[in-house]
Structure 1
Amino acid sequence: MRIGTVGNGGMAAALGRHWVRAGHELMIGGRELSRAAATAERIGARSGSLREATAYGEVVLLAVPAEVVLETLVELEFAPGTVLIDCTNALDQRDHSLAEAAMAEAISSAVPHAHVVKAFNLAADTVWRDAPHRFEGRPLGVPLCGDDRAALERVAGLVRDLGCEPVPAGGLARARLLEATAALAIGTWVRGGDVRALFPPLSAA
């Protein structure tokens, strides 16, 4: 599968490394070509501009800060049917609340001919870089929200490439719940809480 990244930072490198190892063809895209090339060299990918990476990928990872996502998308062209993975979280860093709601839906409205899938937003790049993880003998679950079944299946395969387990979480309208969950989790972690202790398994009910 050909994968492009819009962005050349931590998330693009962390996820991209696993996808390259799994045999996918990856292009790291960036505004600064030297930075994109440096990231690509570290993980065994190719590099290009944001436009080149967008045109290259059947699947495109949107990995730029949430505050510049929409203005970045205006500059790019996506082929109809492109699978666009949104891993962003629009957080107010002062109190770790949501600065904007429904990022995935806003992205879908900006690029209506692409199939947006919300994924990978519940953990930092360091978690994905060090994947796979197992907790109590089970792989890390990755919730996915999207409206196109084929797009969800493609992203589910990319989740498995990390040694993680895709978790169907509903349509794209439910992505705002994932974004709110990320805000809750990050705020809890910052304050020293254990987020996993908040969600007991069904067997404990």
Structure 2
Amino acid sequence: MRIGIIGTGAMAQALGGRWKRAGHHVVAGSRSRGDVRAAVEHGADAVLLAVPYAAAVDVVTGLEPALRGRTLIDCTNPVGGPDFALLTAGGPAAAERIARAAPGARVVKAFNLCHESVWRLTPPVFDGRPLAVPVCGDHEDALAVVRALVRDLGCEPLDAGGLHRAGLLEATAALLIGLWVGQGADAQAIAPPREFAGS
């Protein structure tokens, strides 16, 4: 696939590097270098939005014409402050705001629940179980692309519903970050084994 990345930070390097090793053609760009539009135009199959949430809507708004018809993967987290608060509490979700800023793009929320160090693992497998990656989106063709990119990382995609459910992923990220980083807790321990999840 031809993948463009908006941003050149840790998430861009981690995911982009893994996709390159999987055989994809990846180009990353940034506003500071002046090559972000070229990266978007390279992303014929997918474009990863890997910038801080505070800049995401403005960046996407400026690139809107180039993003039309493209699969835009949003891995941002609207989390901030000393208590790791969800900055979009009350809605709309960050992914929905991004979709409104680029109405011609096919936005998919994915890859926002893990630190960049996880995406550098080859593959992210824990206790013999591949990492599951929830994805939210409204366009089946875009979802199919993202599912394939999830599998290329050695992970398993999980259908988490339409883009209107992206806020649930973002709230989950805020909770997990607060537990992991804020308290040093083992956040994975909050979920019981599947057989105890109820019917």
TM-score (norm 1): 0.89
Counterpart check, 1:90 vs 2:78: yes
Stretches (4+) displaced over 3 A: none
The aligned counterpart of 1:127 is 118
List aligned pairs for 1:1-205, cutoff 5 A.
1-33=1-33, 49-58=35-44, 59-76=46-63, 77-101=65-89, 102-190=93-181, 191-205=183-197
Alpha-carbon deviations, 1:157-181, whole Å to 9, x = none? Answer: 1111111111110000000000000
Give how far 1:79 is off.
4.4
Identity, % of aligned pairs?
Answer: 54
RMSD of aligned C-alpha atoms? 1.3
Q: How many residue pairs end up in the alignment? A: 191
Determine if contact 1:118/1:144 at 8 Å carries over to the other structure: yes
CA distance in 1, matches of 2:105, 2:161: 18
Is the partner of 2:66 in helix, strand or coil? coil
Give how far 1:182 is off.
0.1
Determine if contact 2:95/2:166 at 8 Å carries over to the other structure: yes
Determine if contact 1:78/1:114 at 8 Å carries over to the other structure: no
TM-score (norm 2): 0.92
The letter of the residue matching 2:145 is R
CA distance in 2, matches of 1:166, 1:133: 13
CA distance in 1, matches of 2:37, 2:125: 37
CA distance in 2, matches of 1:131, 1:90: 27
The letter of the residue matching 1:6 is I
CA distance in 1, matches of 2:155, 2:66: 28
Q: Which runs of 5+ in 2 are unaligned?
A: none
